[in-house]
Chain A
Amino acid sequence: MKNKLNLILISIFLVFCFFVFYNSLNNSSTYSPKINGEKKIPIFKARSFNSDNYIDSRSVFKENKYYIVNIWASWCVPCRREHPLLMELSKSKSVNLVGLNYRDNLNNANKFINNLGNPYAQILIDKDGNLAVEFGAYGVPETFLIDKNKKIIKKYVGPINQEILEEIKLITK
């Protein structure tokens, strides 16, 4: 009787283990971040790209508009791919684009903007990546959509594409 009980308990345990491992096989082993969920924008001071002045986050996001914060760098290849879409988005009057130049060489960043055009109303320098961490970014490129209440309502990890562009246009119109 005792042996039977032990056998049943061991069998239950093994079946449990089997299901746990079997279930884990179906899960992806790579981490995919949760990209949505409202968050407040961080409060910061950052150096402007066009001058040596430091700008306060409150003055960056002062207008009653939607804002796009795009993290970019001249060394980032996907940033070049998404740049024409940002240029297109910059034509919209309901949204202001803010660029965050991430861990970049200033000369190269200047060349990048001169060659491909400047879609940003304001560019901030993030020399050490601290500002990107304040936003909760993973790397470049990354784009945040900020609503009129100064809350991050969407986060796009990786380069934006036509579909994302349409989504942003639809939200901000």
Chain B
Amino acid sequence: MKIFKIFLIIFLSISFQQLKSDEKNDVFKYKILKNIRCLICQGQSVYDSESDFASSIKFFVDKKIAEEMSEEQIYELLREKYGTWIIYEPKLNKKTFVLWLLPLLLFLLGGAIIKKLIFKK
């Protein structure tokens, strides 16, 4: 009976670990798929789409995660095959720096205006 209990505890702890790692993998996969644009059904991420293209990309990402590729490596592979458009979040480079800096500039400008108005009062 004692041995049975020990086996049961070991079995449950292994199953729990497995469940935890599956959950971690699912969160990781969800994050990646949500950031990939479905090129067939625009306006939807690959995660939300049911098109053949999206299903193929989902399988591709699954495979690359199983090969232990990082998030950025998977994005890079997809950019090579489909161009930068496929990833929702653009990389910071010569073409996109305005996109990245503009919100920051507007935030600073807004802050300056608010500060000026408060001090004026």
Could you tell me which A residues sit within 8 Å of B by CB distance? 29-31, 33-34, 39, 102-103, 128-130, 132-136, 138-140
Contacts and interface: CB of A to CB of B under 8 A. Distances in A.
B81 A138 contact: no
A135 B53 CA distance: 13
Q: Is the interface of A mostly helix, strand, loop or mixed?
A: loop
Contacts of B40: 138-139
B111 to A, nearest CB: 18
Contacts of A39: 80
Interface of B: 39-40, 42, 52-53, 55-57, 59-60, 63, 80-83, 85
A129 B59 CA distance: 8
A43 to B, nearest CB: 13
A129 B55 contact: yes
Contacts of B80: 39, 136
8 closest A-B pairs by CB: A129-B56, A136-B81, A133-B60, A128-B59, A133-B56, A130-B59, A130-B60, A139-B53
B63 A130 contact: yes
A138 B49 CA distance: 14
Contacts of A133: 56-57, 59-60, 81
Given A31-B39, A39-B80, 7 more contacts: A103-B55, A129-B57, A129-B59, A130-B63, A132-B56, A136-B80, A136-B81
B83 A33 contact: yes
A130 B81 CA distance: 12
30 contacts: A29-B42, A30-B42, A31-B39, A31-B42, A33-B83, A39-B80, A102-B52, A103-B55, A103-B56, A128-B56, A128-B59, A129-B53, A129-B55, A129-B57, A129-B60, A130-B59, A132-B56, A133-B56, A133-B59, A133-B60, A133-B81, A134-B60, A134-B81, A136-B80, A136-B81, A138-B39, A138-B53, A139-B40, A139-B53, A140-B52
Nearest to A133: B60
A33 B82 contact: yes
A130 B85 contact: no
B52 A129 contact: yes
B42 A103 contact: no
Query: Interface centre among A34, A39, A128, A140, by most B CB within 10 Å?
Result: A128
